[in-house]
A and B are shown apart, each in its own frame.
Chain A
Amino acid sequence: MERLKEMILKGRAKETVEQVKKLLDAGADPGTMLQEAMIPAMDEVGDLFSKGEYFVPEMLVAARAMQQGLSVLKPRLVASGIEPIGKVIIGTVKGDLHDIGKNLVVMALEGAGFEVIDLGTDVAPAKFVDAIKEHKPQVVGLSALLTTTMLAMKDTVKAIEEAGIRGQVKIMIGGAPLRQEFCDEVGADFYGPDPTAGRNFARLVVTGEA
């Protein structure tokens, strides 16, 4: 298990897949592999990013290793009845095409065991509303990079309120121009300065623990 965790941490995708297969062949429990090696590995990746020891490339290669390992593990997880710990819908708001920050949050959430529905970029408020009604997530994540597009977060929160579904979700926001004051102003529940903070908030919402 330690080697599996280490390979994800170091972003070694090929070795991660090999180790997953080796452990499965040896009879390891898929749920244990996920909970004791893979999720802690991605948790540590996120923590290292927050501390400024890992950067965008390290996050991306670690997430790639995780995703490739997970693709081998997933059928066994499904067969074992292991489900995601929660569901998050995420998107970059209307008028904004930036996605790298959002994608890092997606990786952190998937690494933590969430099912993530990524709506992409330039997402209209109505599309968020439709997605919430269809997928019934616990958490909605809104991303924006620009001073001019962050205002679309206000429109999105308002649309969710007017659709009568605000009480069903917790809304977290993130992006370069944002601060806590803006989060309060638009009526969101959480402002996260980095992917780890977003992951911890989502986990807190569904499990009661960060």
Chain B
Amino acid sequence: MDIWRALLKMKAPGDRQPDFERFRRSLLGNEPGPVTVGDIFADFETVSHLLQEPVLDYISLAEDPDQKITMKDLWWGYKFVGQTIRFCCLAGWDYCWSYSIIPFKGFAFQVTDNTSSEVKDGKRGWLNDNRGPIMSWDDFKRFRWPRDIKAVNAMSRTMAKRVPDGMKVMVIPGGVFEWTTWLMGLVPFSYALADQPDLVDAVIEKVTSLIAAVVEDIMTEPNVGGIFMGDDLGFYSGTFVSPRVLREKFLPRTRQIVDITHKAGGVFVLHTCGNMYAVMDDIIAMGVDAKHSYEDKIMPVEEVHAKWGDRIGIIGGVDMNLMAKGSEDEVRARTRQVLDLCATKGRYVLGTGNSVANYVPLGNYLAMIDEGHKWNREHFGRDY
């Protein structure tokens, strides 16, 4: 008997009982049914707005690994776990997200005011693309690589002990391409592909081994349902690097993580922004169970669903521009359109185009979910 699970397990708030297998079936099965809802994560401000209580800015702690964690931080972290679970239950998700962020040091973050009217006194951090902590072989040899995998997974394990019956955790470990280009700086990485390709390969190998260790460890925990890997590979007109470089250097490493996840019985979802048309077949061939992140201007979700929806699950796609700036009626209209086009044949989970970001009015996010409920009742005579 898992004594910690017995002690820490929460009861699902609200009327709905989460069911991770329903989420799994939505992704893997082709049987149409009432659509469920999910996303990669929600910003802590959004969680706070929904719950009407203060929530820890966990990511800023994780992004500043030199900060000393106090007992008060640990308490807030434990509370954050419970708040995340409550948010997901109340929003109707069958899983909750958890971060297993490898604490690499030395990222060049820049902070600016959060310009959204939803977050008036907040800040948002952005990576400086022009620098990274590993730009030479000397940097690589001197770099203090994180070692304590158990510590990396502490929050995810706690989440897995606390989730209500039926619910599981989708763990976010970071992606091979992102970690590599953040460690090297996207611009120095680009030059290194030409000037020092062996250094690039060494960083990729090291990053992959760390992600693999994190995933192997956390997938042993009961109530971890799978991996939700965030790895932005593209932008408006294409992938950041050529499909050839992705196929040679990055996708095979991500495939290793997919295989580890599947071997442990989990589902693997890839969140990747940008124009992925050139590599969607490769992503599917890797065994990715579902893809998240779609932009109306770049890769409208209905186009992806029409072309690949019988081969890969689709999560989300209600465009962030609309979610952030549209009226609730506009959000509802587009949600309905996405559902009509994507959800009648199964393999679809309703969600945003990127994440439940703090600059998305909560009213819009709740309107999207509510429209999903209505659509379910109209089409299937019941909700999920």
Contact = CB atoms under 8 A, between A and B. Distances in A.
Q: Which of A50, A60, A179 has the most CB of B within 10 A?
A: A60
A193 B186 CA distance: 21
Contacts of B115: 94-96, 146, 148-149, 151-152
Contacts of A94: 115
Nearest to B188: A60
Nearest to B298: A176
Contacts of B130: 99
A44 to B, nearest CB: 17
B48 interface: no
Contacts of A124: none
Nearest to B275: A52
B116 A148 contact: yes
Interface string B264-306: 0000000000000010000000000000000101100000000
What bracket does the count of chain B residues touching chain A fall in?
35 or more
A193 B242 contact: no
Contact of B241 (A52, A56, A149): A56
A55 B241 contact: yes
B32 to A, nearest CB: 32
A97 interface: yes
Interface string A78-105: 0000000000000000111111110100
Consensus secondary structure, chain A interface: loop
Contacts of B114: 148
A11 interface: yes
B67 interface: no
B240 A55 contact: yes
Given A147-B324, A148-B359, A55 B191 contact: no
A186 interface: no
Q: Which of A52, A61, A101 has the most CB of B within 10 A?
A: A52
Interface string A8-31: 000100000000000000000000
Interface of B: 110, 112-116, 126, 128-130, 186-187, 189-191, 193-194, 235-242, 245, 278, 295, 297-298, 320-321, 324-325, 359
